[in-house]
Structure 1
Amino acid sequence: MMASHSDSIPTAVAVVGAVLAGAIVVKHVLARLRIPAAVGYIALGALLSLLNERWVWRTPFLDAVFRFLGAIGVACLLFRVGLQCNLRALLAQLGRAARAWIGDFTISGLLGFSVAYYWLGLPAMTAAVVGVALTATSVGVSVVAWQERRMLDSPDGELMLDIAELDDISGVLAMSVLFAVLSAAEGGTDAIRWLPLLGSFAPKVSAFVAACWLYAEFVEARLSALLRRSQQPTDPLLLILATSLLIAALAEWLGLSMAIGAFFAGLMYSRDPQQVRIEASFDAIYGLFTPYFFVAVGLGVVWPAMVPALRMGVVLLIAGIVGKVLGNGLPVASMRGLRSGVVIGFSMIPRAEIAMVVVQRAREADPTLVPDTVFGAMVLVSLVTCIAAPLIVSTFLDRWRPGA
């Protein structure tokens, strides 16, 4: 039987190409407005979802194509997060950054969970998804304001980056624990057998980390050196892409999530002295696939649910801002002064990559766990924090120039 026109491969190719072209236009327009590209990608997906309400164009086949491209986009996102982590430098500064990070992770996570569970009346597991998502930070959104004022290398700028790296690591680890709990909670939280869960989860994590370490220690450097001597300059990058996808798939098969695997793959290659060149070469692949993840997030918006999602989004937005400002601001203020605490606290409020990966993957695992209103509310939190944070941080930096 012939496939319908909307399910044909040429149609899928046309839609994929049109979305990519639209993403490029959106990226360049928003760059002039100094708005993060992720905001535009999500808005583009939401617009496509709205068009689908009027003219149905989505099919199961096209949705599967977007899920696949979005999965590759998630792998690219988390690989880059891992690649940008400098573990050696972070360990050297761990003492001061850890003080702020403990408050950051604890207050933002507990406040997000408490507001979702006690105030909004969401189920415990849904509130846990919200809490974990709100622990994450997309500090790259705020970094632009620091870079424009040449303050990223200041003591406050370096402290902010160290806290953000710890945030990334803890966010990914919290996500892996959350997904393990979700897989065990199909019968409800009362049905979870915590000891067997820990007994099955810990060996998987240990085996996965050991496999990554063995590859990084004994295989990666030799194989990369061999390929660098080849006549094909793209071979080292292709090797990185191939191994990263394999590691991400291995993590998914072990029940740890593909995002976790991609993050660890990035950590492995962050040890490479050629890391800067790796990151520059990876930009094209990153730019190709990551828009599809954010577009897929926007496609997940159900417009009839956005009216109730607006109220919930405002409540979660306040919780998200307060959690980061207090969680970072109080410990940083004790170390560096009130102005530094305020600026770093507001610099940490954007939620984009990891936060939306948590929400999106939880929804894919169980749509009842993240209903349309909760998903829409978290999308609003992501959009508002990513737009507002750079403006607020820029204002503070211009007035105070803390830690310069």
Structure 2
Amino acid sequence: MGSHATLPYLRETIIFLVAAGVMVPLFHRFRVSPVLGYLVVGGVIGPFGLGLLADDFPILSEVVISDIAGVQALAELGIVFLLFTIGLELSLERLWAMRRLVFGLGSLQVLVTSAIIGLIAFEFGNSVQASIVLGACLALSSTAIVMQLLLEGRRIGTPLGRSSFAILLMQDLAVVPILFVVGVLGTKVDSGFGWDLALALGKAALTIVVIYLGGRLILRPALRLVAQTRSPEMFMAAVLLTVIGIAAITGYAGLSMALGAFLAGLLLAETEYSHEIEVDLEPFKGLMLGLFFMSVGMGIDWRVIGDEPMWIPLSVLGLFLVKSVITAGLCLAFGLPRHTSLEAGLLLGQGGEFAFIVVGLAMSLSLLPADVGQFMLIVAGLTMLVTPLVAKAAEILAGRMERRETTRTHQGSLEAVGDMEGHVILAGFGRFGRTLANTLQAESIAYIALDTDPGHVARARAEKLPVFYGDASRLDLLNRAHIGRCAAVVVTMDNPAAAERIVGEIRRTWPLIAVYARARDKAHAVRMMNAGATQAVPESIEGSLQLAGRVLSGLGATEEVVRRRLEHQRSIEEL
């Protein structure tokens, strides 16, 4: 019994699991981001939360985690597995297609932001060396928080997700030169500075090339060999060895471990095992990330905020303002829409986990006074804490801006379509909408489509299709699409709540127009009918009926038997 009581980090593990399994779901119930939930819980159970009361109330010491350093060491695995899963979802071809954003937008963001923050730090009385350190470390954002928020919102594949990821990836690549410069600033600079820097960069580049070439040659046959054992445990052990092994190699080479994990993900994405690996590691990644966010919350010393009640909030606001303006301006220069640029700027406005490493190193080398270093760590931690709230506000603000841009940009385009009558209006031009449009076009039936996904619209416009950017629930856009003279409206979008809203708006304003709607399932179809749809077709039922028909045909049933059976089954399902 005693051995269990002395198991390392047993109490901390129990506290973390209680937080992950009980407290964070409560935040989720009130529609609070899990990231913010972990950050807040970490602040409460850390040494600067309930830990401050432990001397007066000894019982609180049982629910307080005081060994932040030990927790942070394990929490770094959360970032490692996050970047690994992102690499799994990409491919080398897609990454190469993003090279302009990664090396262009990302490089400029790091350089310009470092220079401006460094100048501001110098104006506030810091030395040249300290200003360089502060500029370099505060230019980088939190990969863990930003990517997790994008994943929660399923926005990785959007222009916002791609541009944010490109900047974060370049920031990870900048780790080597930044660490090297900080190390050199802490020692006497000699004539070999340029050569040493080139040597460090060359070592990093060689490491990446060796990992890539070695992985392409070894990983697939090695995983195939392990998979042939049909042992899930051995397969998972091989995957974990790959991820942590490559991350460790990049760490030894001076690169970030997260970058190594990303490379491992890219390499495994080329294999046939990528989807199974992603599903198996998802819960583990989520728990490790939760531990990382809690460790950030634990490190915020709220007493310092009380000592500097004016300068700390102003510094948090100032860091967000400077970084957001620079990032948004660069995104605009690279051709991104204004609403996307604004949201990307605010989303990347916080300090990152890398600031804790650089500031700690700079203080150990006497480049930064201890009080300045602690002050900046609090500022960086607080910016990470408020990022989920800022991200939500940015999403709302960008949405409003997007709607205004839609009105200005597409009013003329819709009017240029000219008078139409007897046409079909498609609300949504994803896979369902495009298939329906192809069918209408084959029957020479005119249509106009509205979609809020810039990617869908851009691809359709490139094919000269009558697809326009806009929210189909907006009455002014529907009027410009000549809804009063159309034959029908078909709602095909993926978002169930938005689809119900559009059906309701159309039915209230144009009660005689036929409205056909795609529904997710039978329950959603009922809601769509209640909202006013003329017909609502549940995709899950139709998909299962089509599959059932194929199965019956494969088992020898005649075409007539299959048709009658499916019609009968469809009538039962629609009851």
CA distance in 2, matches of 1:342, 1:141: 18
Question: Which amino acid counterpart does residue 164 of structure 2 have in structure 1?
Answer: A
Query: TM-score under structure 1 normalisation?
Result: 0.80
Question: Which amino acid counterpart does residue 131 of structure 2 have in structure 1?
Answer: A
Say whether residues 1:21 and 2:18 are aligned partners: yes
Q: Which one has the bigger helix percentage?
A: 1
Aligned positions of 1:96-107 closer than 5 A: 100-101=105-106, 104-107=109-112
Question: Which amino acid counterpart does residue 118 of structure 2 have in structure 1?
Answer: F
Q: Relative to 1, partners in 2 of residues 1:115 and 1:313: Cα closer, same or farther, differing over 3 Å?
A: same
Aligned positions of 1:204-353 closer than 5 A: 204-307=203-306, 308=308, 309-332=312-335, 340-351=337-348
2:146 corresponding residue in structure 1: 138
Q: Answer yes or no: is the 8 Å Cα contact 2:327–2:341 preserved in 1.
A: no
Q: Relative to 1, partners in 2 of residues 1:111 and 1:345: Cα closer, same or farther, differing over 3 Å?
A: farther
Rg larger for = 2
CA distance in 2, matches of 1:115, 1:221: 50
Q: Answer yes or no: is the 8 Å Cα contact 2:102–2:167 preserved in 1.
A: no
Q: Following TM superposition, by how much is the alpha carbon of 1:377 offset from its aligned partner in structure 2, in angstroms? A: 0.5
Q: Relative to 1, partners in 2 of residues 1:377 and 1:367: Cα closer, same or farther, differing over 3 Å?
A: same
Q: Answer yes or no: is the 8 Å Cα contact 2:51–2:66 preserved in 1.
A: no
Say whether residues 1:68 and 2:73 are aligned partners: yes
Question: Which amino acid counterpart does residue 47 of structure 2 have in structure 1?
Answer: S
CA distance in 2, matches of 1:347, 1:32: 27
Query: Which runs of 5 or more residues in structure 1 are unaligned?
Result: 334-339
1:358 corresponding residue in structure 2: 354
Secondary structure of the 2:353 match is helix
Q: Following TM superposition, by how much is the alpha carbon of 1:341 offset from its aligned partner in structure 2, in angstroms? A: 1.9
Q: Answer yes or no: is the 8 Å Cα contact 1:132–1:174 preserved in 2.
A: no
Q: Answer yes or no: is the 8 Å Cα contact 1:249–1:261 preserved in 2.
A: yes
Which stretch has the larger CA shift, 117-126 or 172-181?
117-126
Correspondence for 1:389 among 388, 391, 408: 391
Deviations 1:346-374 (A, max 9, x none): 13532499x53212322443545572210
2:550 corresponding residue in structure 1: none
Question: Which amino acid counterpart does residue 317 of structure 2 have in structure 1?
Answer: V
Question: Which amino acid counterpart does residue 41 of structure 1 have in structure 2?
Answer: Y
Secondary structure of the 1:371 match is helix
Q: Following TM superposition, by how much is the alpha carbon of 1:311 offset from its aligned partner in structure 2, in angstroms? A: 2.8
Q: Relative to 1, partners in 2 of residues 1:161 and 1:317: Cα closer, same or farther, differing over 3 Å?
A: closer
Q: Which one has the bigger strand percentage?
A: 2
1:336 corresponding residue in structure 2: none
1:49 corresponding residue in structure 2: 47
Secondary structure of the 1:356 match is coil
CA distance in 2, matches of 1:399, 1:111: 28
Q: Relative to 1, partners in 2 of residues 1:102 and 1:70: Cα closer, same or farther, differing over 3 Å?
A: closer
Question: Which amino acid counterpart does residue 183 of structure 2 have in structure 1?
Answer: S
CA distance in 2, matches of 1:304, 1:349: 27
Q: Answer yes or no: is the 8 Å Cα contact 1:135–1:167 preserved in 2.
A: no
CA distance in 1, matches of 2:138, 2:352: 12
CA distance in 2, matches of 1:191, 1:53: 47
Say whether residues 1:174 and 2:171 are aligned partners: no
1:36 corresponding residue in structure 2: 33
Q: Answer yes or no: is the 8 Å Cα contact 1:73–1:290 preserved in 2.
A: yes
Q: Relative to 1, partners in 2 of residues 1:280 and 1:296: Cα closer, same or farther, differing over 3 Å?
A: same
Q: Following TM superposition, by how much is the alpha carbon of 1:109 offset from its aligned partner in structure 2, in angstroms? A: 4.1
CA distance in 1, matches of 2:383, 2:373: 16
Q: Which one has more relative contact order, counting CA pairs under 8 Å at least 6 apart?
A: 1
Deviations 1:315-358 (A, max 9, x none): 2121122222222134335xxxxxx22234313532499x5321
Correspondence for 1:380 among 376, 382, 385: 382
Query: TM-score under structure 2 normalisation?
Result: 0.58
Secondary structure of the 2:327 match is helix
Q: Following TM superposition, by how much is the alpha carbon of 1:119 offset from its aligned partner in structure 2, in angstroms? A: 4.7
Secondary structure of the 1:49 match is coil
Which stretch has the larger CA shift, 195-204 or 120-129?
120-129
Question: Which amino acid counterpart does residue 140 of structure 2 have in structure 1?
Answer: A
Q: Following TM superposition, by how much is the alpha carbon of 1:53 offset from its aligned partner in structure 2, in angstroms? A: 2.5
2:201 corresponding residue in structure 1: 202
1:337 corresponding residue in structure 2: none
CA distance in 2, matches of 1:346, 1:357: 21
Q: Answer yes or no: is the 8 Å Cα contact 1:321–1:349 preserved in 2.
A: yes
CA distance in 1, matches of 2:78, 2:151: 22
Correspondence for 1:80 among 72, 85, 96: 85
Which stretch has the larger CA shift, 163-172 or 89-98?
89-98
Q: Relative to 1, partners in 2 of residues 1:146 and 1:111: Cα closer, same or farther, differing over 3 Å?
A: farther
Correspondence for 1:128 among 129, 135, 141: 135
Secondary structure of the 1:255 match is coil
Deviations 1:202-234 (A, max 9, x none): 342133113312331111011112222222234
Q: Answer yes or no: is the 8 Å Cα contact 1:70–1:290 preserved in 2.
A: yes
Which stretch has the larger CA shift, 56-65 or 127-136?
56-65
Q: Answer yes or no: is the 8 Å Cα contact 1:79–1:262 preserved in 2.
A: yes
Residues paired across the two proteins, number:
384
CA distance in 1, matches of 2:77, 2:142: 24
Q: Answer yes or no: is the 8 Å Cα contact 1:74–1:259 preserved in 2.
A: yes
Q: Following TM superposition, by how much is the alpha carbon of 1:273 offset from its aligned partner in structure 2, in angstroms? A: 4.1
Question: Which amino acid counterpart does residue 70 of structure 1 have in structure 2?
Answer: A
Q: Following TM superposition, by how much is the alpha carbon of 1:243 offset from its aligned partner in structure 2, in angstroms? A: 1.9
| RMSD of Structure 2 on Structure 1 (CA) | 3.6
Deviations 1:123-148 (A, max 9, x none): 2243134343249682552565576x
CA distance in 1, matches of 2:239, 2:126: 45
Q: Following TM superposition, by how much is the alpha carbon of 1:235 offset from its aligned partner in structure 2, in angstroms? A: 3.1
Q: Following TM superposition, by how much is the alpha carbon of 1:94 offset from its aligned partner in structure 2, in angstroms? A: 4.3
Query: Which runs of 5 or more residues in structure 2 are unaligned?
Result: 56-60, 407-453, 455-468, 470-575
Q: Relative to 1, partners in 2 of residues 1:270 and 1:64: Cα closer, same or farther, differing over 3 Å?
A: same
Q: Answer yes or no: is the 8 Å Cα contact 2:150–2:161 preserved in 1.
A: no
Q: Percent identity?
A: 17
Question: Which amino acid counterpart does residue 46 of structure 1 have in structure 2?
Answer: G
Secondary structure of the 2:230 match is coil
1:400 corresponding residue in structure 2: 402
Q: Following TM superposition, by how much is the alpha carbon of 1:28 offset from its aligned partner in structure 2, in angstroms? A: 2.1
Deviations 1:21-74 (A, max 9, x none): 213334323334444322222222222232222326599994453133123233
